[in-house]
Amino acid sequence: MLNGKVALVTGGSRGIGAAITQGLAEAGADVAITYATAAARAEEVLARIEATGRRGLAMAADAADAEELRAAVARTVAMLGRLDILVNNAGIAPYGPLAKVSPEAVDHTLAVHARAAFVTAQAAATHMADGGRIINIGSSLAERVPYPGWTLYSMSKSALIGLTKGLARDLGPRHITANLVHPGSTDTEMNPADGPDADGERSYTALGRYCTPADIAATVVHLAGPAGRNITGAAITVDAGTTA
């Protein structure tokens, strides 16, 4: 389905990003990933890409650093020959009482979630062939915030709604689609399904269960493939019904 395509997944060293990487490689794409510090984890993901018969590339690139992101895009094109699919997934989970959130934390979170997605999409679009795909990973907390302590995170993820719709308009003439996938509670190191808050989060879902990283990856692979050609500017929520 994605044979001959090249993807770049930010934050591909573990969790949802690693599952998206696996899904894209299994669908036939060569996949480059970025990570912040987990070089050994990224090498494991690389080995799994290569086990599918596809080419991989792992690069350290801090999502808070626009130059490192631009360099990662350029290196993907230089090493893998082209760029067809960008997944802006790298993320952090600042959480805590409103009164304790510093202006520096606001700037950093907006840089990692919003500015990074903007800069990487902007750089990727200059290389992307017509018919490319940009997929941003948001959060169900961008739609509704059912518990306190997440104001900054929610604000940073809701910025991706405007980014995605704007990209859909700017890049539509080249048949490049831009979409947003909002995961709900998903079993990763960021939010383990057996963590201290897990039972509470589960109780907000309609289905009574966490998502797996593979659940999120399946929607991303659908959007990246030919079946996604007329989906653009959309937000798709995969949250076991938390926002139902």
Window 191-220: residues binding ligand NAP (CB under 6 A): 191
CB of 158 to ligand NAP, least distance (A): 12
Q: In terms of Cα–Cα distance, which of 81, 90, 83 is closest to 18?
A: 90
Tokens 């590339």 belong to residue: 57
Instruction: Rule CB under 6 A: say whether 67 interacts with ligand NAP.
Output: no
Residue selected from 62, 84, 143, 215 as contacting ligand NAP according to rule CB under 6 A: 62
Tokens of 141: 């907390």
Catalytic residues: 153
Cα separation, 85 vs 65, in Å, equals 21
Residue selected from 67, 130, 189, 197 as contacting ligand NAP according to rule CB under 6 A: 189
Are 217 and 19 in contact, with CB atoms under 8 Å apart? yes
Apex 197 CA angle, 194 and 201, nearest 5 = 95
CB of 191 to ligand NAP, least distance (A): 3
Task: Please say which residue, 61 or 77, places its beta carbon nearer to ligand NAP.
Answer: 61
Apex 222 CA angle, 168 and 38, nearest 5 = 90
CB of 209 to ligand NAP, least distance (A): 13
Window 165-184: residues binding ligand NAP (CB under 6 A): 183
CB of 12 to ligand NAP, least distance (A): 6
Cα separation, 80 vs 5, in Å, equals 10
Task: Please say which residue, 14 or 54, places its beta carbon nearer to ligand NAP.
Answer: 14
CB of 38 to ligand NAP, least distance (A): 3
Instruction: Rule CB under 6 A: say whether 86 interacts with ligand NAP.
Output: no
Residue 214 DSSP one-character state: H
Window 93-152: residues binding ligand NAP (CB under 6 A): 112, 137, 139
Q: Residue 181 forms beta bridges with which residues?
A: 137, 236
Torsion of CA 10, 13, 16, 18, to 10 degrees: 100
Q: Where are the alpha helices (DSSP H) in the chain?
A: 15-26, 39-51, 66-80, 103-110, 116-127, 151-171, 198-203, 213-224
Task: Please say which residue, 5 or 41, places its beta carbon nearer to ligand NAP.
Answer: 41
Residue selected from 2, 11, 164, 167 as contacting ligand NAP according to rule CB under 6 A: 11
* Contact footprint for ligand NAP (CB under 6 A): 11, 13-17, 34-38, 41, 62-64, 89-92, 112, 137, 139, 183, 185-186, 188-191
